[in-house]
């Protein structure tokens, strides 16, 4: 099976050259797409807070896009904010999207249904990818998104270990589904959509003025470190469960990482199906999310996902009465360190 990867762009020519070398090195695995956005265009909202992104002008982006295409690398432009303050129908929005299309952007990642229809109507032959923010977690949702005009969907991270659901979706829409490798979101977190909405509006002076959702995210992980195992991640060693479930497209998160060497270091571990080290380092693309980051031995998680694959009904999202993740965290992390991080979290994030 041919495996395609979508990775964040650092907007450096050297990284494009390194991607080309990587694509020649590994048979059957290829970084076919990089993704990102400019920071001075009419649309600044996306799935990430603007301050996290590398500063890129529309003029420099055009030159960079040319360099991507010289090397056979596609560029996916992210307009995947959960909210655009009703800007979707504004003429300036439509004009900006048309300009990007005319520059040669290969595809758009979008989350707002109205914007999907607008792009499809104005740019008939461009590829549209439905963002993970769309929370596509069943066949009906997937079908509805394809009916709107998308060509590809990123599956809801919350179904990362629901292999029966993944198989149903990929059977219905083969070669059109993608999944995130290194999601740092706790499964079914009550703050997720509100966190996305906050980030969508952090495009001006309010950026970073309120760390409520960041603190909530950090606190719930450190307060119960078994939550690190309940994140919607995929280990390099577990890739076969996903290819066996019909997936051949994988996405690496990390637009906050402006170092192409680290991005390629992370994706090579997935290509090689092997990582010996702290799982959290890999998930954060070797760029720490916060200072409360425990050491979770990736190799000691061998076999953890097998239960979810063989017993699709084993997880009923009732963690207190299950205990499976709690039993594994004691195998792969130092209990004394976890207690220390719990104490730190209470001081830092409450």
- Over range 331-343, report the average pLDDT: 83
Confidence label for 205 from pLDDT (cuts 50, 70 and 90): low
Provide the strand spans (E) within 181-248. Answer: 182-186, 231-233
Domains in the chain, CATH or no CATH each = 3-348 (3.20.20.70)
Confidence label for 213 from pLDDT (cuts 50, 70 and 90): confident
173-186: pLDDT as tens digits: 999 999 999 999 88
Confidence label for 208 from pLDDT (cuts 50, 70 and 90): low
Say whether pLDDT at 50 is over 80.
Answer: no
Between 319 and 306, residue with greater pLDDT? 306
Residue 210 confidence (pLDDT): 67
Say whether pLDDT at 304 is over 80.
Answer: yes
Residue 12 confidence (pLDDT): 97
3-state secondary structure of 330: helix
251-290: pLDDT as tens digits: 999 999 999 999 999 999 999 999 999 999 999 999 987 7
Residue 212 confidence (pLDDT): 86
Confidence label for 215 from pLDDT (cuts 50, 70 and 90): confident
Q: What's the mean pLDDT when you consider all of the chain? A: 92
- 3-7, 38-42, 252-256, 267-271 — which is least confidently predicted? 38-42
Provide the strand spans (E) within 155-260. Answer: 177-180, 182-186, 231-233, 249-251
- 251, 267, 304 from 14: Cα distances, Å: 21, 16, 37
Say whether pLDDT at 206 is over 60.
Answer: no
Closest Cα to residue 269, out of 244, 248, 250? 250
Predicted model pTM: 0.94
């Amino acid at each position: 099976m041919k495996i395609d990867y979508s990775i964040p762009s650092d907007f450096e020519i050297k990284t494009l050259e390194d991607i080309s070398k990587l694509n020649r090195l590994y048979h059957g695995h290829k970084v076919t797409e990089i993704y990102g956005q400019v920071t001075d265009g009419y649309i600044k909202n996306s799935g990430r807070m603007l301050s996290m992104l590398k500063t890129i002008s529309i003029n420099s982006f055009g030159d960079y896009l040319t360099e991507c295409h010289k090397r056979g690398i596609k560029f996916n432009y992210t307009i995947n904010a959960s909210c655009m303050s009703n800007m979707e129908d504004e003429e300036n929005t439509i004009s900006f999207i048309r300009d990007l299309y005319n520059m040669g952007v290969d595809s758009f990642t979008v989350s707002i249904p109205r914007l999907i229809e607008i792009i499809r109507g104005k740019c008939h032959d461009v590829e549209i990818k439905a963002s993970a923010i769309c929370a596509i977690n069943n066949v009906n949702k997937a079908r509805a998104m394809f009916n709107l005009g998308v060509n590809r969907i990123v599956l809801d991270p919350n179904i990362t270990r629901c292999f029966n659901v993944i198989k149903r979706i990929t059977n219905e829409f083969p070669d059109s589904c993608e999944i995130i490798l290194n999601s740092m979101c706790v499964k079914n977190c009550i703050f997720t959509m509100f966190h996305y909405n906050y980030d969508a509006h952090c495009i001006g002076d309010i950026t970073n003025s309120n760390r409520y959702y960041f603190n909530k995210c950090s606190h719930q992980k450190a307060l119960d470190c078994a939550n690190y195992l309940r994140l919607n991640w995929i280990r390099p060693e577990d890739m076969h469960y996903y290819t066996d479930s019909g997936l051949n497209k994988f996405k690496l998160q990390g637009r906050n990482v402006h170092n192409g060497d680290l991005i390629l270091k992370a994706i090579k571990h997935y290509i090689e199906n092997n990582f010996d080290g702290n799982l959290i380092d890999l998930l954060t693309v070797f760029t720490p999310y916060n200072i409360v980051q425990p050491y979770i031995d990736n190799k000691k998680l061998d076999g953890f996902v097998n239960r979810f694959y063989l017993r699709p009904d084993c997880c009923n999202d009732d963690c207190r009465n299950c205990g499976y993740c709690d039993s594994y965290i004691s195998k792969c992390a130092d209990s004394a360190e976890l207690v220390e991080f719990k104490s730190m979290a209470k001081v830092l994030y409450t």
